Amino acid sequence: MRKNFNYNQLVIIFLASHLFSLCTLGIHNLPDDNDSGVMIPQDSFYGPSDPSEIETFFDMVFKEEMEKLNVPGATFSLVKDGEILFTKGYGLANVERGIHVDPYKTTFHVASVSKLFTATAVMQLAEQGKLDLYTDVNQYLTTFKVDDNFPGPVTIADLLTHTGGIEERSLILASFSESDMLSREKFLSMGKQPRIMPTGKYISYSNYGYTLLGYIVEEVSGIQFEQYIDQHILNPLNMQSSSFSYPDSLMSRLAGSYLFTGGSWKPLPVLYTNVGPAGALISTASDIANFMIMHLQNGMFNGTAILQKETAIQMHGQLFTQHPRLPGWCHGFYEGEINGRRLIQHAGDINNYSSLLALVPEENVGLFLEINGGKGIIFKFRDRVIKRFMDHYYPLETREHSTDELFRMDDIRRFQGIYRLNRYSRLSFEKILGALLESRIKVNPDHSLTLFLTPVLNEPPTHWNRVDTLLFQNKSNGEYMAFYEDQDGNITHVNFCVEVPSNHEKVPWYHSGIFNMFLMGIVLILFLTVTPGWQIVWLIRRIRKHKKERSILEKRIRLTAILVSGLNILFLVAFIVALITAVGQLTSDRPVVFMIIFMIPIITVLLTIIIVFFIIPVWGNKLWKLSGRLYFTGIVMAAAAFAWMLNYWNFLGFHF
């Protein structure tokens, strides 16, 4: 691990990288500055062809976009018609040593782009008849089984499209040293949680699901996943600078990862993922170019068939979508559309690396790009580059807007509310991360909708017109947003594209993150008024006035209030400190530090129950003045509210 690094920053970056990668939160198809409905850039070209012009264009794009986000280094490759058309490195791979990025030598963590290799391996085995996409995955598992608590099995197809409905833990996805990495079997058995949703219905992006696919590749092929990928994909594609195994020969060439803060780039330690098939690949831009060429040529590379043509075509086709008008998931790739052209792609984010592999099949063009850090929401970099590429080489000549038909129905307000990205933990305390993934939809007087994405993205609101009973269309870029309703007509989910096709669950206002943050603020203020420091001041004043407690009941109430308030504050402080300093213990079945800390809420809830019984006779006997009764009743209500929040966010009990 690198020296001179603040560990607190590492944990923050670790959480943020999983929060956004996993959720893969970026803005897909950013709105055009020109919203006239016609966009024909004067300097546009129909497809890249001239190497000199291509280099001039991308030199300009990378220079401008890297400056915006303070990106230290980037790597890039562009392929077309079966060959590498352009590849180049920009900036620094190692800031401390002044080493520049080389697209042929500098390796990067490509993060979730790794999933495309796992999906390719699955499709190889499927075309050989060793796997069936629609067979229960339990038929391929020998040491453990996926739960069967919902009708219908989990299939390979469900895992490929992130519709397996399996709970996932995020905080054990990676380790900070290679020696602390979990074996694949241990991760899958330890990280396994019950199925929480029916299969094949709702998209919930899952690193666990793709790790399980990699394990199934091992079970079926009889060799380690990494060995299988080497033999059947990397070696035939001549990807000599790529591996899922962290070999020293490639790690020595790994671009450093950096956080730009305080006016300089701060190096981040190397991260080792426990979900290898979902995100462990390290590679170069030139190597990834070979992989793109193979897929654009329907499985062929230099005369060798990595996939049969029929299999490759199947892999690139849509396998699942939440709505016919929405982009969906293929067999590993997810769909997108820019300027009327279909893209199949996958992005990745981990530890401040951000990557994108995007293919435009109808143009036989593909590009790969990656950066090694920066400032703020760095994955906006790839969104801007791909949009500028498409605008420049494949501009939108006409844009068809909806008819703006309004369905003026009495139920329009049922669409309004808070929607949480579906990929959040229901069963562990990681559920609290879901509070950061909430978007808000507002109904306008003209029956259109305004979508406010989660504030952490710092994106402007977008406006949507109704085009069908449960379907709305973006006024700017023509994308669609589709809703789900239950049998009573209540809205339960909404689907719109936040980079990847994704599903969002409607949550009641009292379960929303913003309400709970507001409530938490009030509760903490009340708790602080009864902590020992304040009580000492109160006690001194009473001594000076020669006042005593009227009864033993008053003493018990005051003491219990001090204990409840103090212990609840202690729990919050201790949990934050443990998360920063002992997050690695979460890879244990029973993390000792967290077990001790999570005893505190159990005690405070018991004390809260006790103080409720204490406070009831206070009102009947009028032991205090009205102000005193109201004050301590407020403390009791604050303690009860805190207990309710602890229970909802899975902090009450041992939910790891």
Note whether 153 and 168 are within 8 A (CB).
Answer: no
Note whether 71 and 91 are within 8 A (CB).
Answer: yes
pTM of this structure: 0.85
Domain ranges of the chain: 7-393, 513-648
Distance CA 654, CA 35 (A): 52
> What does the pLDDT read at residue 266?
95
Q: What is the 3-state secondary structure (H, E, C) of 536-595?
A: HHHHHHHHHCCCCCCCHHHHHHHHHHHHHHHHHHHHHHHHHHHHHHCHHHHHCCCCHHHH
Distance CA 359, CA 536 (A): 68
Strands 471-474 and 462-468: antiparallel
User: DSSP 3-state assignment of 186?
Assistant: helix
Number of alpha helices (DSSP H) and beta strands (DSSP E) in the chain: 18, 24
> What does the pLDDT read at residue 4?
41
Distance CA 126, CA 129 (A): 5
Block mean pLDDT (10 aa), the chain, length 656:
41 46 39 38 71 96 97 98 97 97 98 98 98 96 88 95 89 83 85 78 92 97 97 98 96 96 93 94 98 98 97 97 92 94 95 96 97 92 95 76 48 93 88 92 94 86 93 88 92 85 92 95 92 56 53 81 93 93 75 93 95 84 77 93 96 89
> What does the pLDDT read at residue 168?
81
> What does the pLDDT read at residue 261?
92
The residues that bridge with 395 in the sheet, in sequence order, are none
The two three-digit tokens of residue 159, written as one number: 């895992």
Note whether 225 and 187 are within 8 A (CB).
Answer: no
Task: Choose which CATH entry (3.40.50.1220, 3.40.710.10, 3.90.1150.10, 3.40.50.300) describes domain 7-393.
Answer: 3.40.710.10
The two three-digit tokens of residue 346, written as one number: 């996958």
> What does the pLDDT read at residue 478?
84
> What does the pLDDT read at residue 537?
52
The two three-digit tokens of residue 406, written as one number: 């309004």
Alpha helices in 317-447 (DSSP H): 380-393
Q: What is the 3-state secondary structure (H, E, C) of 90-148?
A: EEEEECCCCEECCCCCCEEECHHHHHHHHHHHHHHHHHCCCCCCCCEHHHHCCCCCCCC
